[in-house]
Structure 1
């Protein structure tokens, strides 16, 4: 008898969620603390916002493309309401993302107090919407993924996402993801990388994150939020 194929290991998803919780939660205060007229600081923070927002948008695109169709195809009828809730929440966050992009563009150009407050105000609305989405996904969706998605399908999705990341950003992105990560999950992620890249990523990711955080947060060790 053929052994059943291993199921998806979703622990990396918790790690990604923690990163998004942390960085989005810290953003409103950072924006409001920027000095009026300091276009250099505004530019630095806007680039950081674009980086984190890009991770979130890519994350949601992967789910929309790979996960929701599989769950709807393979799961029982009761799965559909959960998947449709995920899609609705993605739509809400997408709309807020459009607002955020417009607000950051205006702040980047002017560095006025009004423009900064407009960015922070969008983030104030985006953070609770994102937190609610991540919470429901962790409580209701990740157990379904573990049940209905195979390890090979999951790993292909993760690899595809990593393949879209510019090579020069890989150390920073890995450092952002693993700052609060479970060491066992971090090691698993490293083991799935190309062999020649493993020592480079493992060696420089923490340094890249620390240097980036010093610029953004004023410390190489920003406050940890942990999982929900």
Structure 2
């Protein structure tokens, strides 16, 4: 009989897909401050493009953390008994990230409305603050949390994390958010990330979705 609560002893669940997702957050939050600072004062049309992109990246981050809160932490707390110090540190990091994220909507709105240099500088600095907090958290998560998940969650339970994010996405955003994740993926990682999706969705993302993402990146990055 299949064990539905723990992986087979000695058998690890493949959790590398989260590393691929983290890579996208690292890249987009590194690029965003430069994109904001490059917008000419008063160019509200360009500011709207960049602001929309940043909001989409933040939506992806929200879905990622919500999935962890619902589907990862409760199981690890029940089965893996992480140390109190680790839990405390991860909670502090989450609070720090959330505190910065909560300041971004107002900063984005103010900058998008007028594209003033001062508000752009404030927005870029806030995004850099978010990236610093988030990268610290992602590093710790990859070093300490993913090994626990690999030992204590079944492949089906782990897959539910990705399925949660996909199900909660606005379907119009699906090609762009997946494009962000796949942009720096190796061929093997692309196969892994797409393999969990229904065949028609895979075909869509490999064809029309890939074209939509290339066009989107040119518009956002101006390249």
Matched residue, 1:224? none
2:113 alignment partner in structure 1: 109
CA deviation vs aligned residue, 1:92-131 (integer Å, no higher than 9, x gap): 1111011111111111112111111110111121111111
What is the root-mean-square deviation in Å for CA atoms of aligned residues? Answer: 1.7
Matched positions, count: 218
1:166-215 deviation digits (Å, cap 9, x = unpaired) = 22222122111111112222212222211222211112333222211111
What TM-score results when the alignment is normalised by the length of structure 2? Answer: 0.91
1:15 matches 2:32: no
Mapped to 1, the partners of 2:164 and 2:68 lie a distance apart of 12
Gaps of 5+ in 1: 220-228
Asked if 2 retains the 8 angstrom alpha-carbon contact of 1:107 and 1:115, the reply is: yes
Report 1:188-227 matches (<5 A): 188-219=192-223
TM-score, normalised via structure 1 length: 0.89
Provide the rounded CA distance (Å) in 1 between the counterparts of 2:166 and 2:44: 32
Higher mean alpha-carbon deviation, 156-165 vs 38-47, is at 156-165
Which residue number corresponds to residue 29 of structure 1?
34
For residues 74 and 205 of structure 1, the distance between their equivalents in structure 2, rounded to whole angstroms, comes to: 39
8 A contact 2:71–2:160 mirrored in 1: no
Compared CA separation, residues 91 and 206, structure 1 to 2 (3 A): same
What residue in structure 1 maps to residue 44 of structure 2?
39
Give runs of aligned pairs for residues 1-228 of structure 1, distance below 5 A.
Answer: 5=8, 7-76=12-81, 78=83, 80-219=84-223
How many angstroms apart in 2 are the aligned matches of 1:162 and 1:21? 20
Whole-Å Cα distance in 1 between the matches of residues 50 and 82 of structure 2? 44
- Flag the 1:2–1:68 CA change in 2: closer, same or farther, 3 A: closer
Greater mean alpha carbon deviation, residues 177-186 or residues 3-12 = 3-12
Structure 2 unaligned blocks of 5 or more: none
Distance (Å, rounded) in 2 between the aligned partners of 1:73 and 1:39: 50
